[in-house]
Amino acid sequence: TEGCAVFHCRDCWAVLGDSLHLCAQEEHCGLGFLVCFKVTNDVTWEDSLLIGLEGALLGCAYNALCCRLCGLIVGFILYSASRDLAYLRGFFCFFKDSILCYVLKKQIIVEASKVNFPAVTLKE
């Protein structure tokens, strides 16, 4: 339980996922996100694809991840991407600035951008 945390929606505190299903932490072009292979039923995604027109998702096709309870966009699922992001296709990517983390061992709520999880990466 040392690095275990529960991921919550920043707006309504719905439980979105947890660090047991975390498979990467990424920083790409100023965008920080947590990559999970599983989320809770409080996460939905849009059927229609969006195309990134600027920033880290420029030129990528993706489905927006939303909180089922309040509708906040909390991340994305990449459908097609440039070579440097292709390894993330099909995973649930939470924007760090859209979620809060409840750290189990310390019993505190922390900004996702301030939590250091054990190093994992999908690039290898």
- Give residue-wise pLDDT tens across range 34-67: 999 999 999 999 889 999 998 888 889 999 999 9
Nearest to 14 by CA among 72, 96, 87: 72
Cα 26 to chain centroid distance, Å, stands at 9
Q: What is the pLDDT of residue 101?
A: 93
How many whole angstroms separate alpha carbon 124 and alpha carbon 23? 11
DSSP, res 109: E
Number of C-beta neighbours around residue 67 at 10 A: 24
How many whole angstroms separate alpha carbon 124 and alpha carbon 95? 22
Q: What is the pLDDT of residue 45?
A: 93
- Give residue-wise pLDDT tens across range 86-108: 888 989 999 999 999 998 888 89
Task: Tell me the pLDDT band of 121, cut-offs 50, 70 and 90.
Answer: low
Q: What is the pLDDT of residue 1?
A: 47
Q: Which domains are delineated in the chain?
A: 5-114 (2.170.150.20)
Task: Tell me the pLDDT band of 116, cut-offs 50, 70 and 90.
Answer: confident
Tokens standing for residue 107: 């019993």
Amino acid, res. 100: L
